[in-house]
Every structure is written in C-alpha cells, then in structure tokens.
Amino acid sequence: MAGMLEKQVLSAINGNVAWPLVERFSTLERVSGSPDERQAAAYICEVLDGAGVPYNLHEPFLYLSTPGPARVTLDRRHIQARPPAFSASTPPQGVTGALVYLPSGRATSTYDLFSSDLSSLPALTGKIALVDGMPMPLKVSQVQAAGAAAGIFIHPGTGIHEGIATEIWGTPSLEDLPRKPRIPVVGVSADDAAALVEAASSQARVTIRAALEEGWYSCPLVVAEIRGEVLPEQFLLLHGHLDSWYSGVGDNATGNGALLELALAFHRNRRHMSRSLRVAWWPGHSTGRYAGSTWYSDEFALDLYDNCVAQVNCDSPGCRWATEYRHLSAMSEARDFTETVIRDVAAIDADSIETERPPRAGDYSLNNLGITGFLMLSSSMPAEKAAKEHFYTVGGCGGNVEWHTARDTMEVADRGNLLRDMWVYGAAASRVISGGILPFDFRAVTADFATSLAHYQSLAGSVFDYSECTSETHLLAQALDRFYRRSGAASTLSTDDAQSREYNLKIIGLSRLLVPINYARAGTFYHDPALNIPPLPGLAPAPVATGQEGFLRAGILRGANQYRQILSKARSLIEA
C-alpha cells in the first residue's frame, strides 16, 4: 500500500539526475584507487552539495589488486590474456609448464557462476591447468591445491571478462592472508582457447606472463544520510559499488545514477520519513572483493548492529532489454515484500518476478552482523532474448555480455528500464522507512528452515537425527504466528507509537539471530569467504566415506546445539 512518502518519492523520480550521471560516468574508467574513480565521487558530492543533501566523504585505505598486461605463449604465438585481480604475478620470464585440459561445465545461472566447482582433480604438479569457465575463487583454489603451477581459464565468448580470484572477503586480516591465491591465473577467450585445447592433447608446453599491482590505495567512499523525523537513529542502508571495470555503464554507472536520484528524491520528501536513509557508493568492489562495503561494515559495525533495519544493494539496474525480474536476491523474510513492491510499481507480468536466496556475492557484507538484505542484481533480459543473441550467463549488466569488458558502454544502458527500476528501489525504501511495522516476515524463514532440515535429514540418513532441531523450528513457527497476528492488529496504527516500536525492535532482533545461522559460519564481526554457503551451514551434511560418519556427526551436533539455542532465544525474544 503506497503511503505519502512513496507517492511523493516516485513522482519526484524522472531520470533527470540519474541519466546525466550515467553519461558522465561513461567517460570515466572508475577502477578503484584511480583518478577517474575520484572524479566520479566528486561528481556525486557536487550534486549532493547542490541539493543540500548531507553526506560524509570517507577515505578508507583498501588493499586492492589491479590486473595489468598478460599473455600466453604457445610455439612463439602470443595469445591475448587477462589475469583476474588477486591472482599472482609471474616473474618477467613467465611461468612455463605442460598443458592439462580439465573440461568442466559452464554456469547456467548467476548463482552457479558465483559457486562454480571442479569435481575431483588429478595431481597437477608443475602443470598448467586449462579450465573451462571464468576464474572464480573455488576453481582457482582447487587448481592450486592440485599442485598446478598456473591456470588458464577459458571464457565462454569472444571477449575476456574481468574478475577477481580471491575468496577473501574485503581487506584480508593476518589470518586471512594465507588464503590469497599463490599461483598466476589468466583468462583467454573461447576463440583463442581452441588452439590451447588442441595443444593440451599432446601435453604441449606454454608460457604465461601476467603482471598485477597489489597494494594499499586511498579511495573515496561517499555516504549520504537523510535523517528521519521520528526514529532517526534507525536507518535503511541503500548501496551500490562506485568502482567499475573500464567505464562500466551497465555495471554500475546506472546503479550509481539511481542511488543519486533516490538520495535527492528522499531528501526533498524527508518530512514524511520516520526512519533515516543512508545511501552509500562503495569503492574496492571489483579489485578488492567488496573492500569498500566491508570497510564500512567493520568501521561502523556496532552502529549497524544496533540501528540498521535492512540493507538494499543496487547493482546493474536499467540495462538494455532488461524487462524481467528473475533470480532476484532476497532473504526469505523479505521475499514477499520484494515481490509485492515490484508487482505494485513495475507494471510488468507478475510471472516474471522471482526471488531466491542471495549468493555469497555482491556487497552483502552485513550478513555476519545479521542484517536483512534484499536485491543485489536488478532487472534482466528474458531467457529467450538472451538465447536469440547467443548470450551466456554473466554476473551483471542485466544479462548483457558486455559485462566486465571495455564494451560496457552507453548502449548497454536503457533510460526507460532505469526509470522503472528506480521506482522499485524508491518504493521498497519508502515502505521500510516511512514508519509503522517493518515489512519483514520471519514465518517464511522458519518455513525455509523446516525445508532445509528435511532435506538434510534425507542426506544424512542415520548419521544424525535432526528431530530436535525440527521441534524447535515448529515451536518458533507457532510463536511467530502469534507474534505476527498481534503485530498485524497493531499495524493499523499509523504512527510509530510505543507498541509498534516494541514490535520493530523484536523484528530487528529476529534478524540478528536468524540471518547469521542461515548465511554465515564466521562470527558476528568477521566475514565468511566469497564461497557458496548452503542454508543453515552448521547443519549441512557433507558426503563422507565409510568410516568417517562419526566425524560428520560430531560437526553437525555442534551446529545443532547452536541452532536450538538460537531458535529458543528468538522465541523468548518475541514472547517476552
């Protein structure tokens, strides 16, 4: 239901702020730590200044890795190549070894793309592994663990997509450093790879050369803060990455423009805001594995833990042919809400709206703190359109294969689609910050937990009995039914009175308890690696060989103890 804030904000959005930014940013190669990134931040600050929107310009030191020149040499023939960020540089003479081809499937969805896996590998000691697909962290570490001297990854098309090979989330701690990739890795195009696959059949030797610059960079990080009128300490964090590969129009100049236009629209209508809105533009996303959002989540951890009601990521909205909302990220408690908002404002076929569990990717740097998140990538093109264009799965740009290449230029953006996507973000943010009961439904979370437990029971068989976890889940589900019935009655109150404040503190408390057990293994103030995390990771059984069952059971039992205690705490919280 659209309130006054939403009506005013949506009517203030017309693209007149976002589109000029997209055009300006299309002339800036906003690699993190570069002068162009600084100019982009200055542009945002100038527009915020002009409109009187308060903001902070932070200057974090981020640890980044910027890819430089690379090539593969086969029989004196040079093949064009690109190293992913945080792979190792080679010595000047390169690294030479015999090629071993490891065919593996291609990603068929963005979720797969961020969690792609190589099944059991042969020993690759001293060899150069030739692998299908982009150099995602798990594959890179698997090739490294098998002893390869280097890896060559075959991109699916005619271009090479920039990317990052480290699994370490944000700036590494001393404990994290040993997990940084130690081998050189490069990507080559599918066209150029044919000769390499052929050469691998005779174990031909190739030489890889790659140069990267790794170090500390001072980067601009802008956070606008528009204060709410009633509960100003509580805020929604709306955010996206400022840095890009090349001039990155669809990924993510469009998102930067959307965030700026939204910041101005909310500022103009702030008298209707109950809670506050923070709008953040992160550096270090592409070459620091979300280093900017991770820095912010570390520097402001206690503030975020106490006061952030939810986070919304804005990456690659407003792209060409992007007329559907499929594979949208939303945590379970925000799934219905997200789909309803889109149905209400986007004027598209309801069947083309689909949400799913967020992958361990994007700037979801607040999972360990237990903060509800929704949206990551935005609208995308229909599968039929992608097939017609002979496109393959990519991780942004609304499905346009220009993603992470120098061809991500103005023709990838679409002003009409951007306008529609801004309405989605504008309406979603309005409904969270305009006041009243927070729109997150944790009954969907216990339903998902029950499904995960049933699945895990079928996998674990007699090794572990999940029935006590299941009982605890039912008890919480029943308590949530009572809680939401009571709060539903209270939500007719239009103001943030004492009663609805109390409900909201409990809803926030539920997210602090239930988000981490479903999305994190590491503690509240740490960051899990950028590797796929299954639902309820502490309870997920792994396939084990005969004789290993006792070890599996010991691990799940510890996870089960934690699970039962946390669900019991959640029940006490809402029944207090």
- Which residues are at the interface with Zn ion (CB under 5 A)? 251-252, 315, 396
Which of 252, 269 has the CB closer to Zn ion?
Answer: 252
CA angle 135, 137, 143 (to 5 degrees): 75
Which of 135, 370 has the CB closer to Zn ion?
Answer: 135
Query: In whole angstroms, how close is the CB of 254 to Zn ion at the nearest point?
Result: 10
Q: For residue 26, give Cα distances in angstroms to 17, 20, 389, 408.
A: 15, 10, 24, 9
Task: Please report how many Cα atoms fall inside a 13 Å half-sphere around the Cα of residue 421, on the Cβ side.
Answer: 37
Q: Using CA atoms in the order 124, 163, 280, 215, what is the torsion angle rounded to 10 degrees?
A: 70
Query: In whole angstroms, how close is the CB of 251 to Zn ion at the nearest point?
Result: 4
Query: In whole angstroms, how close is the CB of 66 to Zn ion at the nearest point?
Result: 17
Query: In whole angstroms, how close is the CB of 283 to Zn ion at the nearest point?
Result: 13
State the greatest distance between any 2 C-alpha atoms of the chain, in Å, as a whole number: 76
Token pair in block for residue 427: 């309406």
Query: In whole angstroms, how close is the CB of 315 to Zn ion at the nearest point?
Result: 4
Which of 252, 457 has the CB closer to Zn ion?
Answer: 252
The DSSP annotation for 161-211 comes to ---B-----SSPPTTTGGGS--S-EEEE-HHHHHHHHHHHTTT-EEEEEEE
Query: In whole angstroms, how close is the CB of 302 to Zn ion at the nearest point?
Result: 28
Compute and round to an integer the Cα radius of gyration of the chain. 24
Hey, which bits of 17-76 come out as E strands?
55-58, 61-74
Query: In whole angstroms, how close is the CB of 403 to Zn ion at the nearest point?
Result: 8
Query: In whole angstroms, how close is the CB of 286 to Zn ion at the nearest point?
Result: 7
Q: For residue 403, give Cα distances in angstroms to 23, 166, 518.
A: 17, 19, 30
Residue 111's nearest CA partner among 450, 373, 284, 355 is 355
Which of 316, 500 has the CB closer to Zn ion?
Answer: 316
Query: In whole angstroms, how close is the CB of 520 to Zn ion at the nearest point?
Result: 22
Token pair in block for residue 447: 């339903």
Which of 26, 252 has the CB closer to Zn ion?
Answer: 252
Which of 132, 315 has the CB closer to Zn ion?
Answer: 315
Query: In whole angstroms, how close is the CB of 420 to Zn ion at the nearest point?
Result: 19
State the Cα–Cα distance between residues 86 and 88, nearest whole angstrom: 6
Token pair in block for residue 289: 């594995």
Which of 242, 533 has the CB closer to Zn ion?
Answer: 242
Query: In whole angstroms, how close is the CB of 259 to Zn ion at the nearest point?
Result: 13
Which of 192, 243 has the CB closer to Zn ion?
Answer: 243
Q: Classify 66 as helix, strand or coil.
A: strand
Which of 244, 511 has the CB closer to Zn ion?
Answer: 244
In three state form, how does the secondary structure of 257-294 look? Answer: HHHHHHHHHHHHCHHHCCEEEEEEEECCCCCCCCHHHH
Task: Please report how many Cα atoms fall inside a 13 Å half-sphere around the Cα of residue 369, on the Cβ side.
Answer: 25
Q: Classify 525 as helix, strand or coil.
A: coil
Which of 239, 272 has the CB closer to Zn ion?
Answer: 239
Which of 251, 339 has the CB closer to Zn ion?
Answer: 251
Task: Please report how many Cα atoms fall inside a 13 Å half-sphere around the Cα of residue 109, on the Cβ side.
Answer: 11
For 442, which DSSP code? T
